[in-house]
Amino acid sequence: MKNVNDVCAAAEARLGAADAAFLGDLGVALAERFAGSERVWQYRSVFDRLLRLLAATPGSANLVQALRLVSAARACGRSLERYAASQLAAGHAPTDLAAVLFGGGGAVGAAEELRACVVHELVLRGVAVYELPYIAGWANSPHWRHHPLGWLPLELSEIERDRDLPSYSSRGGSSHSMPYGPSSDRGKAAAPSGAAGAASALDVTTDTVAASISSAVENWTRGSNGRIEARVFEFAEPIGPETVPATVLASGLACLRDRKPKSAFSTSACTPAEAWRVLFAAASTGGAYNSGCFGAYGRLFAWRSMAGLAGATEGATATEVAERALLCTWYLFDADSPWFEQVAWDIGMATLDPSRARLAVLASTDTD
């Protein structure tokens, strides 16, 4: 066959006839081909379609063949664990995932990275993973604690209850919501006049804290056109929430420079849950030209940003970060400034810590 659509149609027909092994065999052969033929896009296109078909169609036999494809891609230097885990958790029953990935039910062994991602994709979907056979034992094993995702709890906090997860189609693509955007999407308000009411701030940003704050949107700068600004300010005396808008404006942020006189600027208080939802969407779904980090790592990076914004101490547990986040005051801001692209990927977030003497700011923008 010389046409990608014909090959995909044949594969779909074979899957409908319960011949999942055909898709697995074809996918393994394609992986070997595209490993040495980077310019032949057709090999990758059909391979990705096969993986989507197997991931979106429930059944242990389909799951086993999907694992074969992930393993074949990894052997050829192509990492699919995060992407595959998101699709598998969306398309297959948790009990099947537990049996095949963790209980030895698969024809090929699943990588630890895939297992770790699947566990947290299930957590995000509200699955009580500790109640699933095989997974509880794996999650309690000593080696798991050293994995980056091992820092996250295996149950959702109250802050994570309102989360946006993608829905996948076997024919390609996924759908998800974007709880952020340009100022025109959320309404514009008049900017505060000058710096009236602004508190005098000292910029105490360090590279370590800036990296933590930026975690959720760092992917926007990889493979896309994103920009990030992460800053921390301290005050000699506690400031009141009513002074935050003027203080943000007067802080010298690059994202607010070169604004026209009286151009739109708005600040609104939000809950920690609303802030986390924005950060999780940014981390998991990505910017204009990338696919993000998907659910498991999207959750991790959202919490790293929350930790930096809330001023959590180094080495704090996820539970301690969540507790501190609940004590902070959170804000979203919009600005009509040249720095923000005003397309679809604009985030302005500020956090006043419990002492009210520390203000952290995250701004990010991207464009297609």
Residue ranges per domain, the chain?
A: 4-155, 175-366
Residues 4, 336: Cα–Cα separation, whole Å = 45
- Residue 315 neighbours by CB under 8 Å, 6+ apart: none
What is the pTM (predicted TM-score) of this model? Answer: 0.91
pLDDT digits (tens, 9 = 90+) for 156-186: 999 998 888 887 777 665 666 678 877 544 4
* 175-366 CATH: 3.40.1000
With tokens 């981390």, the residue in question is 283
Residues 10, 3: Cα–Cα separation, whole Å = 11
| Amino acid identity, position 176 | H
Residues 167, 330: Cα–Cα separation, whole Å = 29
Cβ distance 76 to 38 under 8 Å? no
Q: How far is CA 252 from CA 105, 176, 257, in A?
A: 58, 34, 7
Cβ distance 305 to 216 under 8 Å? yes
Would the CA dihedral through 31, 34, 36, 38 be positive or negative? negative
Neighbours of 73 (CB within 10 A): 25
**Tens place of pLDDT for every residue, the chain, 368 residues?**
889 999 999 999 999 999 999 999 999 999 988 876 667 788 889 999 999 999 999 999 999 999 999 999 988 878 899 999 999 999 999 999 999 998 876 545 578 899 999 999 999 999 999 999 888 888 888 777 788 999 999 999 999 988 888 877 776 656 666 788 775 444 444 444 445 577 788 999 999 999 999 999 999 998 889 999 999 999 999 999 999 999 999 999 999 998 887 788 999 999 999 999 999 999 999 999 988 999 999 999 999 999 999 999 999 999 999 999 999 999 999 999 999 998 889 999 999 999 999 999 999 999 98
Cβ distance 13 to 170 under 8 Å? no
